[in-house]
Structure 1
Amino acid sequence: MVNPRLGIILGAVGVVVVLLPILVLFITGGYDSPIQRFYDSPLAPGLPMGVLVTAAGAAVTAVGLLIFIRGMRAGPTYPTAPPPIRRPLSRPRQENRELEQIEQEISNLLDSQPAMEIRTVTQPPPKRAPAKQQAVAEQTAEKKGGMVVVTRGVDMVCQSCGAVNPLGSKVCSSCGAQLFQPDPKAQPCPVCGAPLDETYKIGENIVCKICFSELKPKAG
């Protein structure tokens, strides 16, 4: 990993080397001095030593800048701590023995119990009245009452739980509630026998709230 701090240090050294001839000239005031003579001494024809020192300082500065840029791109470096050592927790021998004894007692107790047999009880579906018998009952009810069946319902709905029961039922097969209370003052439904409510209407026709049969008053 490249450390950007090294680049900063090299860059600072290079800047100092580049600015050193100017500082010497400023300090000496242009007088003849050993340092001034060193910088003015020709390294080659037309190439004094000061130019070489300045070029070397510029090169060091460029290298430091390059190292700093690469270090910043690589991201900061942090010392990685070793992973913590996890040691298994050891229980006392006495506690282990007690746990083993309890597990053995539970296992023996389960083995001594007889196997439980699960039986599913299926309730037979409620019996429906034969269609012919139901039709005869409806015709008899129509003759006695003043209602004619327009649309015949096929089931009876419990007003307590909403369960569906076959025609001819008296109590709900789901909750056991009575499907309807007989009312001698009200006109019975010719389909299910429940007392009709005049408020349940579709136009002029009355709808039974138990079997949802649509009925209309008999003409004449």
Structure 2
Amino acid sequence: MDSKQLLNRVTQQLKQASKDSTIQAGDNGAIAHEPTVEQKEAINQIFELFRFNYHNQFLKAFPDLDTMIMAKRLWAKLLADYSGQVIMRAAEKTVKDSTYLPNVHEVLMRCDIADVHGLPSTHAAYMEACRAPSPKREYSWTHPAIYYAGRASDWFFLANEPEAVAFPVFKRNYELLLQRIQQGEEIELELPKALPEHSSVPLPRKEQQQRLHALQDLLKD
């Protein structure tokens, strides 16, 4: 890819970013979908990562500060659904895979929440949920989110419906849990309490009387 093609590639993104950067009408004149501090920091770090790894390409794509600011606005808008951690990890994966300066869409495609948090992919989680033996709660799950997604989908439904029918239901439930994890929620599996070694259930009255009589007879000797 020559410098002209690279510049044209980025220019198309910047034109849209310029439109998106205008303040939208409202009572307080605020910019819609303002990125969080964490997201801003992640995008700044990503641009520094790109500058280091694609030095000449980076300078040709972003020759001045205004161009870079518009590009960052575009990134913030398109990546607004992901946390800073997810965005950063996705950018690092993109750098490993790409010889040329990545665009925001290439990073967006790698914003896989499950992968970032070390969870199985949606389909792998589905297969684990379908194959796990009963009792389900006592199975050694790769992650509790798989158990809860399976339970929400209904174990009988997963076991008896074809994948074409059951997988979309499981996928929705699993991805809802992934979103909660992305937002910082910890999902843990509550294990059933172990039974005490000694039963605390009282003996039947007749057996109590028999034991009492046996003890009295023993004391007489």
> What is the TM-score with the length of structure 2 in the denominator?
0.18
Q: Which has the larger radius of gyration?
A: 1
User: Higher helix fraction: Structure 1 or Structure 2?
Assistant: 2
Relative to the length of structure 1, the TM-score reads 0.18
Greater strand content: 1
